[in-house]
């Protein structure tokens, strides 16, 4: 997983001229346009089908924004968990300092490749009330089904591989020779990590975190099975759709986009700028 | 004073090296790729642990495999290492790069004035606010050197840092490092696989091959009198002409250590037809097929073989490359004198020269 920086503005003009210069260039430009418009299509559709009136009435219903709070809170906790547990794993994967690195990577990939619905089903059998883990949680008066905790667990499962793989790529892009110099210049590893590795990996880490945030915000498959309550926004969209139909569900789709998108977009532009500065 | 005596098992051979470098002294580890040169530097820097041995810097034991064991981590060694990649911190300005270690190390840490002074002296005073990405290769290497200076390291290790840069830049940077070593009086070790780079830098040169130091001495002495045939090959002797008077023994010919014409007082005289000739540097490199060793001087022959050069015998058509200021005239045999060639026995050891035996 890597996110290339966009080319600086001053070369955009010559890039255009170069592309239009040949038939294959025109064809590839047309193809690029089609896929770009198609990808943006849903967002454009959403905006054209929404009226201001629709939004205000839907959101004016008492408690309509409660799921937003639930989503943001569970998402924030999910990010904290990923940062705390996922970052060291990503670092070790990137530096190949774990025994049997392929096995570790396969484990991360597994949760990426499993359909979220399946993850939800399996989580029930793993942390449900009648399992050893569930009983353990019961002793401290916690439950991992249909609770806030369950929601966080489901979101972590759905977003963790995106963060770990993205962070691994970010760490792998840091030249070990630079870390070696930091050590020879007197920095013990923790200090070198703080002064060199983390700042250099930061744009990539931010990008990975942003993608994980978007996944956590939109998590549905595992959530619908293990954490039907409390509602986050995706479940709110789902239930509204079932109970009152498409038009009333659309405003909540906008809410989800507004919450899920800005962080990833900001992270993207920031990391692209940081990379560009380092190359300039 | 840097003292290293280390052994390390590698897949192909056992690396074993022992040497001491005095304060302000410049030692070159010279040898072919894969001889273990870089490994020795990494052991000194603490990036690798030797199988057996010790590394002592200014009386501080950095590595000791015998009890009481000691392996000081790289960040506590105060050993600077320059590699081909300057490895500057890309997210920091030149000034921040220079000051990087000043904040980590107590004692004579470099303050702002000191950083400015170092930058001025290295000719990068105008660049302190730039990012490394904007620097040219030579400038980046100057910053890397400045960063080590500002860190106040106690030993300077150079792992072919200037390989691949153009000749004048290499010369400037090498001179700069020599100045720095003289001013700071730190021991320094350069790893080089090119003889010229080693000679341009070092007071003393260790020839390393297959993990063993074959010879250690001033560069001029090593080139003029290689201790073994393998050393001769590594420092540029390209032809070994048999000496019929002493079967199995050969005289080493370095392309640069020949003069045209017959000068029996200065070495061994060889002659033969010119097989090829092409421009090389400011002169020419010709390949001569020597048919015979005509005479040999007293210096060229060993005390054990007093009569070796006297007679004239077939050398069996050895191709001898020589570098000459002027292209040899076409047609007929070309006669030249090999200046005091070292002679090697069949086992590769050098036959002592007359004056060496006398003393």
Q: What is the pLDDT of residues B220-276, one digit of tens each?
A: 999 999 999 999 999 999 999 888 777 788 889 999 999 998 888 888 888 888 988
Q: How many CB atoms lie within 10 A of CB B67?
A: 6
Q: CA end-to-end span of chain B, whole Å? A: 31
Residue B100 to residue A188, Cβ atoms within 8 A? no
Q: Could you write out the three-class secondary structure of A2-30?
A: CCCCCCCHHHHHHHHHHHHCCHHHHHHHH
Buried b (16+ CB within 10 A) or exposed e, A16-47: eeeeeeeeeeeeeeeeeeeeeeeeeeeeeeee
Question: Which H helix or E strand runs over B295?
Answer: strand B283-295
Residue B104 to residue A183, Cβ atoms within 8 A? no
* Short-list B173, B202, B179, B180, CA closest to B190: B202
**CATH dotted code for B2-224:** 3.40.50.300
* Short-list B110, B283, B133, B255, CA closest to B184: B110
Domain boundaries, chain B: 2-224, 235-358
Confidence of residue A19 (pLDDT cuts 50, 70, 90): low
pLDDT at A43: 85
CB B241 within 8 A of CB B315: yes
Residue from B48, B75, B145 whose CB has the most chain A CBs within 10 Å, to mutate: B75
CB A233 within 8 A of CB A255: yes
Q: Which of B89, B91, B101 sits opposite A186 (nearest CB)?
A: B101
Residue B147 to residue A185, Cβ atoms within 8 A? yes
Judged by a CB distance cut-off of 8 A, whether residue B91 touches chain A is yes
Q: Residues of A with CB below 8 A from B90's CB?
A: 178, 200, 278
- Nearest residue on chain B to A192, alpha-carbon basis: B75
Q: Complex ipTM above 0.85? A: no
Judged by a CB distance cut-off of 8 A, whether residue B319 touches chain A is no
pLDDT at A96: 87
* Short-list B313, B272, B265, B263, CA closest to B293: B313
Residue B50 structure tokens: 């030797």
Distance from CA of A157 to the nearest CA of B (A): 34
Q: Residues of A with CB below 8 A from B79's CB?
A: 184
Judged by a CB distance cut-off of 8 A, whether residue B77 touches chain A is yes
pLDDT at B43: 96
Torsion of CA A164, A165, A171, A173, to 10 degrees: -170
Judged by a CB distance cut-off of 8 A, whether residue A278 touches chain B is yes
Q: φ and ψ at B281, to 5 degrees?
A: 60, -130
Mean pLDDT for A222-231 is 90
- Nearest residue on chain A to B93, alpha-carbon basis: A278
Residue B91 to residue A278, Cβ atoms within 8 A? yes
Judged by a CB distance cut-off of 8 A, whether residue B72 touches chain A is no
What confidence tens digit (pLDDT) does each residue in A51-75 have?
888 888 888 888 888 999 999 999 9
Q: How many CB atoms lie within 10 A of CB B349?
A: 11
Torsion of CA A137, A139, A141, A144, to 10 degrees: 20
Residue bearing tokens 């700042």 = A199
pLDDT at A275: 78
Size of interface A-B (CB pairs under 8 A): 67
Quick check: A142 pLDDT over 50?
Answer: yes
Residue B75 to residue A188, Cβ atoms within 8 A? yes
CA angle B37, B41, B45 (to 5 degrees): 165
Residues of chain B short of pLDDT 70, as ranges, are: 103-111, 291-316, 355-359
Q: In what order do the strands lie in the sheet with B267-280?
A: B258-260, B333-339, B267-280, B283-295, B313-324
Judged by a CB distance cut-off of 8 A, whether residue A270 touches chain B is no
What confidence tens digit (pLDDT) does each residue in A83-118 have?
999 999 999 999 888 899 889 989 888 888 999 999
CB A151 within 8 A of CB A224: no
Distance from CA of A268 to the nearest CA of B (A): 18
pTM of the model: 0.81
Judged by a CB distance cut-off of 8 A, whether residue B104 touches chain A is yes
Q: Which of A184, A192, A279 sits opposite B81 (nearest CB)?
A: A184
Confidence of residue A13 (pLDDT cuts 50, 70, 90): low
CB A19 within 8 A of CB A25: yes
Mean pLDDT for A263-276 is 84
How many whole angstroms separate alpha carbon A173 and alpha carbon A197? Answer: 10
CA angle A206, A207, A208 (to 5 degrees): 90
Q: What percent of chain A has pLDDT over 90?
A: 49
Residue B229 structure tokens: 């045939």
Cα–Cα distances in angstroms (integers) from residue A181 to residues A178, A189, B84, B162, B163, in the given order: 5, 11, 12, 17, 19
């Amino acid at each position: 997983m890597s996110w290339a920086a966009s080319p600086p503005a001053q070369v955009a003009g010559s890039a255009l001229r170069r592309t239009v210069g040949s038939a294959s260039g025109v064809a590839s430009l047309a193809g690029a346009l089609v896929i770009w418009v198609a990808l943006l299509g849903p967002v454009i559709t959403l905006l054209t089908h929404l009226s201001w009136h629709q939004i205000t009435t839907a959101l004016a219903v008492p408690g309509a924004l409660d799921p937003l709070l639930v989503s943001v809170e569970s998402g924030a906790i999910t990010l904290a968990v990923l940062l705390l547990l996922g970052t060291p794993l990503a670092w070790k994967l990137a530096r190949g300092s774990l025994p049997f690195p392929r096995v570790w990577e396969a484990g991360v990939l597994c949760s990426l490749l499993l359909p979220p619905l399946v993850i939800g089903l399996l989580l029930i059998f793993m942390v449900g009330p009648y399992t050893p883990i569930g009983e353990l949680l019961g002793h401290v008066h916690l439950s991992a089904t249909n609770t806030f905790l369950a929601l966080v667990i489901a979101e972590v499962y759905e977003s963790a591989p995106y963060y770990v793989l993205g962070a691994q790529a970010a760490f792998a892009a840091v030249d070990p020779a630079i870390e070696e110099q930091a050590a020879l210049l007197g920095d013990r590893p923790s200090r070198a990590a703080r002064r060199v590795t983390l700042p250099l990996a930061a744009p990539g880490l931010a990008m990975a975190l942003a993608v994980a945030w978007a996944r956590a915000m939109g998590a549905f498959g595992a959530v619908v099975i293990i954490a039907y309550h409390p509602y986050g926004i995706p479940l709110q969209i789902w239930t509204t759709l079932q109970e009152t139909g498409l038009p009333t569900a659309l405003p909540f789709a906008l809410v989800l986009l507004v919450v899920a998108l800005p962080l990833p977009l900001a992270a993207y532009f920031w990391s692209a700028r940081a990379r560009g500065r380092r190359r300039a | 004073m840097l003292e290293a005596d280390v052994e390390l098992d590698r897949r192909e051979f056992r690396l074993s090296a022992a040497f001491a470098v005095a304060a302000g002294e410049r030692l070159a580890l010279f040898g072919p790729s894969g001889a273990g040169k870089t490994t020795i530097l990494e052991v000194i820097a603490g990036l690798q642990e030797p199988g057996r041995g010790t590394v002592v810097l200014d009386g501080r034991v950095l590595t000791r495999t015998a009890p009481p064991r000691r392996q000081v981590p790289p960040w506590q060694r105060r050993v600077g290492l320059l590699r081909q990649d300057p490895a500057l911190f890309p997210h920091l300005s030149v000034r921040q790069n220079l000051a990087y270690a000043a904040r980590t190390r107590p004692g004579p840490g470099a303050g702002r004035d000191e950083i400015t002074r170092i930058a001025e002296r290295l000719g990068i005073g105008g660049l302190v606010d730039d990012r490394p990405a904007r620097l040219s290769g030579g400038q980046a290497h100057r910053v890397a050197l400045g960063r080590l200076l500002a860190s106040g390291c106690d030993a300077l290790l150079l792992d072919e840092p200037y390989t691949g840069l153009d000749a004048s830049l290499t010369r400037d940077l090498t001179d700069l490092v020599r100045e720095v070593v003289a001013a700071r009086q730190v021991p320094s070790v350069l790893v080089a696989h090119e003889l010229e780079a080693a000679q341009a830098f070092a007071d003393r040169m260790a020839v390393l091959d297959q993990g063993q130091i074959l010879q250690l001495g001033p560069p001029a002495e090593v080139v003029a009198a290689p201790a073994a045939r393998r050393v001769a090959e590594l420092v540029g002797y390209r032809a070994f002409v048999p000496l019929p008077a002493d079967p199995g023994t050969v005289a080493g010919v370095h392309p640069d250590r020949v003069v045209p014409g017959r000068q029996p007082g200065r070495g061994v005289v060889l002659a033969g037809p010119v097989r090829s000739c092409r421009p090389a540097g400011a002169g020419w490199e010709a390949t001569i097929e020597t048919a015979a060793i005509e005479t040999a001087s007293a210096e060229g022959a060993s005390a054990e073989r007093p009569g070796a050069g006297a007679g004239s015998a077939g050398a069996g058509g050895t191709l001898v490359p020589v570098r000459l200021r002027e292209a040899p005239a076409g047609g007929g045999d070309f006669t030249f004198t090999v200046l005091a060639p070292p002679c090697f026995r069949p086992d590769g050891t050098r036959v002592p020269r007359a004056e060496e035996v006398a003393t």
